[in-house]
Amino acid sequence: MSVWDMMCQWPGKIYGGETGDDACEHYYRYREDVAEMKTIGLETYRFSVSWPRVLPDGIGKVNAKGLEFYDRLVDCLLEADIEPWVTLFHWDYPLALYQKGGWLNRDSVDWFGEYASVIGEALGDRVSHWMTLNEPQCFMGNGHLWGSHAPGDKLPMPLALKAMHHALMAHGNGVLALRKHCELKPKIGWAPNCSAAIPVSESAEDVETARKDFFKVSSGTFFNNSLWSDPVYLGRYPEEAAEVFGADWPDFDDGDMTLIAQPLDFIGYNCYSGYLIKASPNGGSESIAAVPGEPVGTLDWLKVMPDSLYWASRMFAERYGPKPIYITENGLCNTDWVSSDGAVHDPQRIDYISSYLQGVKRAVSEGIDVSGYFYWSIFDNFEWAEGYRSRFGLVHVDFGTQKRTLKDSAWWYRNLIQTNGESLDVKEYDVNLLVADPVR
């Protein structure tokens, strides 16, 4: 059991009362799923290990069946010439450890280190790319400050900041454990999330305003980029953090910061959207209000802002480089269904990916080392508190029958991979031609 299994039992917490008990059944259908990945031509597959599946109590005895699943999955991926990229923690905190205090307990640093050691020992002879934590802003902010995600806590800010600090220390301990236990030399990063600050013009004033806003520390929220990434990459919290949080800001030991700032091999970040901002006449900043009817995904936080990946990559590179940058998540949630012709037509997703990758292309052309891009997600899946209503996948999943159907976007993406990005412009490729594709 994880904290999400717990939350799924609470009435009104998950859309439609849905649960992740079955989801897309990847556990049983992984061979079929890897075959679909091979059809699309994926060269890498980023997946997350479920901590309580491997260690039901969070520490101690290993569940052999759970670990063997990931062992088989890695082998299956390698047989298909798909490189596995493994994320250690993607929000499903072991319920047994939560009942011992969870992230509020300083022992969580050691608990995570033990878990990372188990996974590194088991998979590190074949896996070389790793991420520790996925979107810590979300599992801390939504899960521990506002209570909308598991475990549903609404902690006072001093305790929430304490939990945040322990999670960052756990990240550092996970890095140490992977470097110790992996047989292959590991390349390690993590995957925080961000909303890109996009200047309304490329004047020096607007760009600097956007940069400052992107990295500013705001009270009452954990959706701060520098609050999380400065400790990891620079070995210190932002100077303004103590002032912004005031009396809520706890004291931290120098040894803690040394642990947090373990050297990483790449900069990873998840980014789906952004916001427009400009310099104001008085030297401050001014956010641009949304225009009614602006394009948005089926989750209202996902505003379609094609320049997001360019500006996020540029700002991370300027502050934390030089390191390779990997966009570890980016995608569009939509209301996709199987049409009467048996296909799933999702032109909005194709346009979304194309327009966002134009920003990546620009970043690369300017010398920013964007070394990889991961679309979220390969399959429609359980989207936490949103249940199954919003679909991000390139592959449609009928959750009643578990039938997989490659969407038009999957076929377009396949062509994008085959041409190494030369077919990035939607106009250069007619999706209708896919109907006659021999692989299909």
Which amino acids are annotated catalytic? 135, 329
Query: Is 111 annotated as a binding-site member?
Result: no
As a whole number, mean pLDDT of residues 271-299 equals 92
Query: Is 376 annotated as a binding-site member?
Result: yes
> What residue ranges define each of the domains in the chain, with the CATH number in brackets?
3-436 (3.20.20.80)
Query: Is 237 annotated as a binding-site member?
Result: no
Residue 203 has pLDDT above 80, yes or no: yes
Structure tokens at 92: 């499903």
| pTM metric for this prediction | 0.96
Write down the pLDDT at residue 282.
Answer: 85
| Percent above pLDDT 90 for the chain | 91
Query: Is 311 annotated as a binding-site member?
Result: no
Write down the pLDDT at residue 436.
Answer: 46
As a whole number, mean pLDDT of residues 186-201 equals 98
Identify the band that residue 117 occupies on the pLDDT scale cut at 50, 70 and 90: very high
Identify the band that residue 289 occupies on the pLDDT scale cut at 50, 70 and 90: confident
As a whole number, mean pLDDT of residues 24-45 equals 97
Of residues 10 and 434, more confidently modeled? 10
Residue 13 has pLDDT above 60, yes or no: yes
Identify the band that residue 433 occupies on the pLDDT scale cut at 50, 70 and 90: low
Mean pLDDT of the chain: 95
Query: Is 383 annotated as a binding-site member?
Result: yes
| pLDDT tens figures, 48-71 | 999 999 999 999 999 999 999 999
Identify the band that residue 438 occupies on the pLDDT scale cut at 50, 70 and 90: very low
Residue 80 has pLDDT above 50, yes or no: yes
| pLDDT tens figures, 148-186 | 999 999 999 999 999 999 999 999 999 999 999 999 999
Residue 361 has pLDDT above 90, yes or no: yes
Write down the pLDDT at residue 429.
Answer: 56
Query: Is 384 annotated as a binding-site member?
Result: yes
User: Are the beta carbons of 338 and 393 closer than 8 angstroms?
Assistant: no
Identify the band that residue 437 occupies on the pLDDT scale cut at 50, 70 and 90: low
Write down the pLDDT at residue 440.
Answer: 47
Residue 39 has pLDDT above 50, yes or no: yes
Identify the band that residue 430 occupies on the pLDDT scale cut at 50, 70 and 90: low
Q: What is the 3-state secondary structure (H, E, C) of the chain?
A: CEHHHHHCCCCCCCHHHCCCCCCCCHHHHHHHHHHHHHHHCCCEEEEECCHHHHCCCCCCCCCHHHHHHHHHHHHHHHHCCCEEEEEEECCCCEHHHHCCCHHHCCCHHHHHHHHHHHHHHHHCCCCCEEEEEECHHHHHHHHHHCCCCCCCCCCCHHHHHHHHHHHHHHHHHHHHHHHHHCCCCCEEEEECEEEEEEECCCCHHHHHHHHHHHHCCCCCCCCCHHHHHHHHHHCCCCCCHHHHHHHHCCCCCHHHHHHHCCCCCCEEEEEEEEEEEEECCCCCEEECCCCCCCCECCCCCCECCCCHHHHHHHHHHHHHCCCCEEEEECCCCECCCCCCCCCECCHHHHHHHHHHHHHHHHHHHCCCCEEEECCCCCECCCCHHHCCCCECCCEEECCCCCCEEEEHHHHHHHHHHHCCCCCCCHHHCCHHHHHHCCCC
- Of 138-152, 285-299, 300-314, where does mean pLDDT reach its minimum? 285-299
